[in-house]
């Protein structure tokens, strides 16, 4: 009992309070007190009891032979054991509560990180992946749900950035890491930022990278840019359209004036023709009669031109009839061959007398031919060299389809321009020289005839336009032969 190391008897009580359940810890504490009490009684039993003074004073000189002292030591020891056990349990309970709260906070933080739409990667000072969430695992080559442990699986921009940070021990604040696209069939565009992580003492704990998926934002920007370009293009088209409409109004006015002028000129010409014919009968001189025939020929020529102008300037009708393709081509060529642009152009009109008549609207088909011929003439006049200009028209019949091919030796066009040739208001001519409606109108008109128009062209080598018209179009365009105007 006099051993100073007796206080170490409390050690196992503290250990028991830490590692054992409450009832077992109290059992250990009670056993310790009981054991200590037995030792105390053993000491008291060795001491004689001659009188009351022996309870207070020891005859041997040792206080441990005094019963009162031993009893006091036992009580003090018991209190010390109980207090140690109680304090240990209180401290342990607080530690457990703190640990539980820390674990709960850790779980909440982990759940928040796992649920983030932004990808997050935490790299320790050794360059190993300490943490990553599912959104960040999409960045990897494998795109697996398993934890990623190496930077090699991430895009090169992240790997290179981290190698620079670790090698140079960069201790900056937030900085841009870079942008990259995720692998896979449906790539996403990610913009990443990085920031060092430090404890309260300033010691580096690692580096965190957060990546935001900006695919939708980027697509929206691209869409807005596209729409802005479309609006700009539409505005430019509107400007061109206004100029073209103004030019078209001028052309309409000129057409109306030309129609009126043709009527006014027609009457004097008819009178002049009658006078010339009368004179040819009265004059006896053969030379003078020949000269009058030349005059009459030119008068008839002017009359024919005026007649074609009047026919072409009439409003379009929906009248369908059996028509001779050769005749329609010839009449359209007659209308344009006196144009000054035709002066340097050689026309090769290869007539095919075996073509069947075709059920169509003659006026609409003449409009188609005129637009194609004018485009060919303009293309040949746009050449910079003096090479021969030839407008060649051929036709044949394959099955129930009549084909007309118009070839020119003009400047031609590339494939990109050829693909857009039938778009409305698309033209390669200068403003005021073309409306961009000729081939567009021709395409619509020939489609109404259940036919087709196509272009083959090579830049610098000329253009070939193929018109195909069925002999008998669809039933809704076909009228019975009894009602046909032949």
The answer to whether residues 186 and 283 belong to one domain is no
Q: What is the DSSP letter of 174?
A: S
Asked if residue 223 belongs to a domain, the reply is no
A 10 A CB-CB count for 20 gives 13
Question: Among residues 269, 277, 349, which one has the least CA distance to residue 309?
Answer: 269
Asked if residue 228 belongs to a domain, the reply is no
The span from the CA of 431 to the CA of 482, in Å, is 48
- Helix residue ranges, H only, 283-359: 286-313, 325-336
Predicted TM-score (pTM) of the model is 0.43
Asked if residue 484 belongs to a domain, the reply is yes
The answer to whether residues 18 and 61 belong to one domain is yes
Using the 3D structure, point to which of 295, 314, 333 is the last residue of a domain.
314
CATH number at residue 295: 1.10.287
Asked if residue 231 belongs to a domain, the reply is no
Asked if residue 371 belongs to a domain, the reply is yes
The span from the CA of 402 to the CA of 391, in Å, is 20
Terminal alpha carbon distance of the chain: 144
Using the 3D structure, point to which of 86, 110, 134 is the last residue of a domain.
110
Query: E strand or H helix at 457, and its extent?
Result: strand 452-458
The total of structural domains in the chain comes to 4
The answer to whether residues 365 and 448 belong to one domain is yes
Asked if residue 219 belongs to a domain, the reply is no
CATH number at residue 330: 3.30.565.10
The answer to whether residues 133 and 74 belong to one domain is no
CATH number at residue 139: 3.30.450.20
The answer to whether residues 191 and 326 belong to one domain is no
The answer to whether residues 95 and 16 belong to one domain is yes
Using the 3D structure, point to which of 149, 180, 213 is the last residue of a domain.
213
Token couple for 213? 């998926």
Q: What is the pLDDT along the chain (486 residues), one digit of tens a residue?
A: 455 555 556 666 777 777 777 777 777 777 777 776 766 666 655 555 444 344 444 444 555 555 666 666 667 667 777 777 777 777 878 888 888 888 888 888 888 888 888 888 888 888 888 888 888 888 876 655 556 567 777 888 888 888 787 776 655 566 778 888 888 778 888 888 888 888 888 788 888 888 888 888 888 888 899 898 888 888 887 877 776 666 666 666 666 666 677 767 777 777 788 877 878 888 877 888 788 888 887 787 777 767 766 665 555 556 788 999 988 998 888 878 777 788 888 888 887 778 898 988 888 888 889 889 988 888 888 887 888 888 999 999 988 899 999 999 988 888 888 888 877 666 766 655 666 677 888 888 888 888 999 999 888 888 999 999 998 876 545 554 434 444
The answer to whether residues 274 and 333 belong to one domain is no
Question: Among residues 365, 385, 379, 373, which one has the least CA distance to residue 337?
Answer: 373
Torsion sign (Cα): 295, 297, 299, 305: negative
Phi, psi of 205 (to 5 degrees): -105, -15
The answer to whether residues 471 and 368 belong to one domain is yes
The answer to whether residues 169 and 99 belong to one domain is no
The answer to whether residues 144 and 86 belong to one domain is no
Asked if residue 226 belongs to a domain, the reply is no
Task: Supply the range of the domain harboring residue 305.
Answer: 236-314
Q: What is the DSSP letter of 5?
A: G
Asked if residue 74 belongs to a domain, the reply is yes
The answer to whether residues 310 and 259 belong to one domain is yes
The answer to whether residues 10 and 94 belong to one domain is yes
């Amino acid at each position: 009992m006099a051993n100073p190391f007796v206080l170490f008897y409390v050690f196992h009580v503290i250990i028991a309070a830490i590692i054992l359940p409450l009832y077992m810890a109290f059992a250990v504490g009670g056993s310790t007190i009981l054991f200590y009490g037995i030792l105390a009684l053993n000491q008291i039993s060795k001491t004689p009891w001659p009188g009351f003074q022996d309870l207070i004073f020891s005859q041997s000189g040792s206080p441990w032979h005094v019963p009162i002292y031993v009893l006091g030591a036992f009580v003090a020891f018991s209190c010390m054991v109980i207090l140690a056990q109680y304090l240990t349990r209180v401290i342990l309970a607080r530690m457990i509560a703190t640990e539980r709260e820390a674990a709960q906070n850790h779980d909440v933080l982990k759940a928040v990180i796992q649920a983030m739409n932004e990808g997050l990667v935490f790299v320790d000072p050794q360059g190993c992946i300490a943490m990553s969430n599912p959104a960040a695992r999409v960045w990897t080559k494998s795109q697996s749900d398993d934890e990623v442990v190496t930077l090699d699986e991430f895009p090169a921009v992240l790997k290179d950035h981290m190698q620079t940070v670790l090698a140079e021990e960069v201790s900056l604040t937030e900085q841009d890491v870079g942008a990259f696209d995720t692998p896979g069939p449906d790539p996403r565009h990610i913009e990443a930022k990085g920031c060092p992580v430090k404890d309260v003492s300033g010691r580096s704990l690692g580096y965190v990278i957060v990546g935001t998926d900006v695919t939708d934002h980027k697509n929206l920007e691209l869409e807005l840019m596209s729409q802005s370009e479309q609006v700009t293009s539409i505005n430019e088209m509107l400007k061109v359209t206004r100029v073209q409409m103004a030019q078209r109004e001028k052309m309409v006015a000129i057409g109306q004036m030309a129609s009126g002028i043709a009527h006014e000129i027609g009457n004097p010409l008819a009178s002049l023709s009658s006078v010339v014919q009368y004179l040819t009968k009265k004059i006896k001189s053969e030379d003078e009669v020949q000269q009058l025939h030349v005059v009459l020929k030119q008068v008839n020529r002017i009359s024919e031109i005026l007649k074609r102008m009047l026919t072409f300037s009439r409003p379009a009708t929906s009248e369908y009839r059996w028509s001779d393709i050769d005749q329609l081509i010839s009449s359209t060529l007659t209308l344009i061959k006196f144009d000054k642009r035709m002066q340097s152009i050689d026309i090769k009109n290869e007539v095919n007398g075996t073509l069947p008549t075709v059920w169509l609207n003659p006026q609409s088909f003449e409009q188609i031919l005129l637009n194609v011929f004018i485009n060919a003439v303009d293309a040949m006049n746009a050449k910079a060299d003096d090479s021969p200009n030839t407008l060649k028209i051929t036709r044949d019949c394959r099955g129930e389809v009549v084909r007309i091919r118009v070839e020119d030796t003009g400047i031609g066009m590339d494939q990109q321009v050829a693909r857009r040739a039938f778009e409305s208001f698309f033209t390669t001519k200068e403003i005021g020289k073309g409306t961009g409606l000729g081939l567009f109108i021709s395409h619509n008109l020939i489609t109404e005839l259940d036919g087709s128009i196509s272009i083959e062209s090579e830049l610098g080598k000329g253009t070939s336009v193929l018109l195909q018209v069925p002999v008998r179009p669809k039933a809704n365009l076909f009228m019975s032969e009894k009602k046909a105007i032949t």
